[in-house]
Amino acid sequence: MDFQVVVLAGGTSEKLSPLVSKDVPKALLPVANRPLLSYALDLLEASDLKDLIVVVEGQEAAQLVGAWVSSAYLDRLRVEVVAVSEDLGSAGALRAISKRLTANDILVISGDLVTDVLPGAVAATHRRNGAAVTALLCSVPVSGPSDSASSSGKDKAKKPNRLNIVVLDKTKHFLLHIVSGTDVEKDVRVHKRKIQAVGQMEIRSDLMDAHLYAFKRTILQDILEQKEAYRSIRLEVLPHLVRSQLRSDPSGNGTTVEETGNNAVLSSGNLQCLAQHRVIAPSAFNQDVLSRSRGGHRCCAYIATKSKYCHRLNSIQSYCDINRDVIGEASHLSGYSFSAQNNIIHPSSVLGSKTTIGPHCILAEGSQLGDKCSVKRSVIGRHCRIGSSVKIVNSVVMNHVVIEDGCHIQGSVVCNNVQLQERAVLKDCQIGAGYIVTTGSEHKAESLARK
C-alpha cells in the first residue's frame, strides 16, 4: 500500500527515571511481563506491516533493542533498528532517518503506544482524504492526561490547565487547530480565516494526540528540512502543519473545473484536481478553500472510538495504569489467555499454602511465593522469590526480585533485582533496579533508586 512504518522507540526517558535505566531502555520496559515495544510491533504485525524501521535513541539502547527484536521477531518481521543520538526529540529522530524514507506515505508510531486501534484505519483515512497528515486522536484517559506528573496529589488542582485543545470541523474529519497541554494559556487563539472557511467548528478538550501519524512523505521531509529547530512531532511539527493548512494566499486561484477545462492540454495534476472536485463535503469547506488544494494541504484526524483502548506510556502513572489495564479490562492486548479466575499463573511457579492470587494478576515463570501471601491486581515477574505473609496490591514487581516475609506493597513498581527485606512497607513507590529496602522501613510516595 506504499506505506513505510517508522517506530519511534525512544531511549532512556527521564520521565520514567527509576524504572528505565541503561540496562532497560524504555522500549524494553516490561508491561505485563512483555517489553513495551512488543505491543506496537504486534499491532503492526497484525496489520500486515512487516517492514519496519525502529528508531532508538542511543547506541547502547539500540543494541539492546536490536538484540531483543532479532530474537523475538526473527521470522516474523523485517525490522531495521536504527540508532540516533540522544536528545534529538521525535522530529529530530525522523530527520535523522529521513534519507531512508522512500514511500509515498509514512506511518509514524510511537513505541510507547499501547492500543488496539488499527493503523490501517488511520492510514485509510489518510489516503481517503488525501491528507498531508492524519493524526490519531483518542479520548483522554480517566486518570487525567498523561502529561501530568506521576506524583499527582497536588497537581490535581492544575489539571484543567493542562488539557489539550483540539479544534475539528463539523464532519470531525479535519483538524483545524491543535494546542497541546503545555502550551495552553488562558486564551486559545483560533485564526479568523479558519472560522470563515469552515463556518462551524468543534472545540474539544477530551481528546489527546496518541502519537500515531500518517504523513505525506514529501511534506514531512520539507518541514524537517526547513524547520531545523523543530524537535517534537507532537508539539511542533503537527501544530505547524495544522497552522499552515489555510495559509496559502487567498488569491490563489479558484481552481475549479472551468479553469481546467480551459486548458487545452491537461496535466495530470489538474486532472487530479478535477477528480477531487467536491471531494470534501461542501458543507465542510467553502469552495475557495477546497480548491486551494495546490497550495494548501489538509490535516485530518482519526478519532478512536471510546470502545478502543489507546494509551501512551509516558509517565509512571500511565505505566501503572497500563499495567493494570492490560491484565484487567484490556486483557486482549496482553496476548495471554487468562484462566477462569481471570489471572495467569505460570505452571512453573510455586505457591505456598494459603496463598491467594486474585483476579487480574500475572505470575510469571519460576516465581515462588511463601505461605499466606495475597496478590491482587498485580504483575509479578520471572524468578521472584517472595516470602510468607506478603501482600502485593496494585503493583508491578519485575524480574528476580526478592521480597522477604511480612512485606506490604501497594501501588508500587519494583524493578529488577530489588531486595525488600523483612516487613518493608511500600506505598505508591518506585524502586529502581538493584535497590535494597531495609528491614522494617516504610516508604510512601517515594522514588528510590541506587545512587
Q: In the complex, which residues of this chain contact another protein (CB under 8 A)? A: 1-3, 47-49, 104, 118-121, 123-125, 127-129, 256-258, 260-261, 266, 271-272, 274-283, 286-288
Q: Taking the complex as a whole, how short is the minimal distance between the CB of residue 438 and another protein, in angstroms? A: 53
**In the complex, least distance from residue 196 CB atom to another protein, rounded to whole angstroms:** 12
CB 93 to another protein: min, Å: 23
| Nearest distance from C-beta of residue 199 to another protein, angstroms | 9
Tell me the three state secondary structure of residue 441: coil
CA pseudo-torsion sign 241, 245, 249, 254 = positive
Find out whether 403 and 409 touch, Cβ atoms under 8 Å: yes
Q: Which is nearer to another protein, 47 or 151 (CB)?
A: 47
Residue closer to another protein by CB (options 280, 380) is 280
Distance CA 123, CA 301 (A): 11
3-state secondary structure of 210: strand
Cβ-defined contacts of 280-283 (< 8 Å, 24+): 280/129, 280/174, 281/171, 283/170, 283/171
Query: All 3 cell numbers of residue 412?
Result: 508500587
In the chain the first and final C-alpha atoms are separated, in Å, by 50
- What distance in Å separates the CA atoms of residue 291 and residue 8, rounded to the nearest whole number? 35
Q: Residue 445: beta bridge partners?
A: none
Name the phi and psi angles at 70, rounded to 5.
Answer: -70, -25
Please tell me the distance from the alpha carbon of residue 184 to that of residue 239, in angstroms, as a whole number. Answer: 13
Residue 360 and residue 381: Cα distance in Å, rounded?
A: 14
C-alpha cell at 364: 510469571
Cβ proximity to another protein, 96 vs 279, nearer residue: 279
Specify the residue, 287 or 348, whose C-beta has the smaller distance to another protein: 287
Least distance from another protein to the Cβ atom of residue 123, Å: 5
Closest distance of CB 104 from another protein, Å? 8
Q: Are 287 and 256 a contacting pair, CB within 8 Å?
A: yes
Secondary structure of residue 10 in the 3-state scheme: strand
> Which is nearer to another protein, 115 or 389 (by Cβ)?
115
How many Å is the Cα radius of gyration of the chain?
Answer: 25
Pick between residue 123 and residue 375 the one whose CB is nearest to another protein: 123
Which of 378, 436, 323 has its CA nearest to residue 16? 323
Question: Which residue lies nearer to another protein by CB, 48 or 249?
Answer: 48
User: Of 286 and 331, which CB lies nearer to another protein in the complex structure?
Assistant: 286
Minimum CB separation from another protein for residue 234, in Å? 23
CB of 256 to another protein, least distance (A): 8
**Closest separation in Å from C-beta 209 to another protein:** 20
* Residue corresponding to grid cell 490535581: 156
Q: Which is nearer to another protein, 98 or 286 (CB)?
A: 286
Distance CA 206, CA 194 (A): 21
